[in-house]
Amino acid sequence: MIVDTNILLRAMIFDHEVESPKAQALLASNEVIISNQTLCEMVWVLRRLYKKSQSDLAVAIRTWMSVKTVALDRGAVEAGLTFLETGGDFADGVIEFEGRRLGGDIFATFDKRAASIVRAQGRDCVLLDAD
């Protein structure tokens, strides 16, 4: 079963009297697929709306990775976690990973932190000047 971000958030945060128990029950009784986009959106919501720290976000992602009935793109998620845990954005790590998997060899960005993380891993990056 493919789940969207709202299912994950309701189950994690338990902020809705009716929907949260339903989300938890669905996740507990099914094998689920969590797409990269769903995880990126989950991270964004947890960071922006719930003010979660980078370490809290990493724990949340790793928790989903550890659930035996959850399928996700481990390579992309690990790449996102590498960015997140070195001060970058989870989505940038996923984007860079997916782009390379599709045949790209140079990551282009305006984001200095993302460029630094890519270069620290020995991969090519073009940092565009915002001016």
- Could you give the percent of the chain with pLDDT greater than 90? 98
Whole-prediction pTM value?
0.92
Are the C-beta atoms of residues 121 and 83 closer than 8 Å to each other? Answer: no
Element (H, E) at 73: none
Query: What are 92-120's pLDDT values in tens digits?
Result: 999 999 999 999 999 999 999 999 999 99
Residue 105 CB coordination number (10 Å): 8
Structurally, how many domains does the chain consist of?
Answer: 1
Domain of residue 14, residue span: 5-127
Query: What are 56-94's pLDDT values in tens digits?
Result: 999 999 999 999 999 999 999 999 999 999 999 999 999
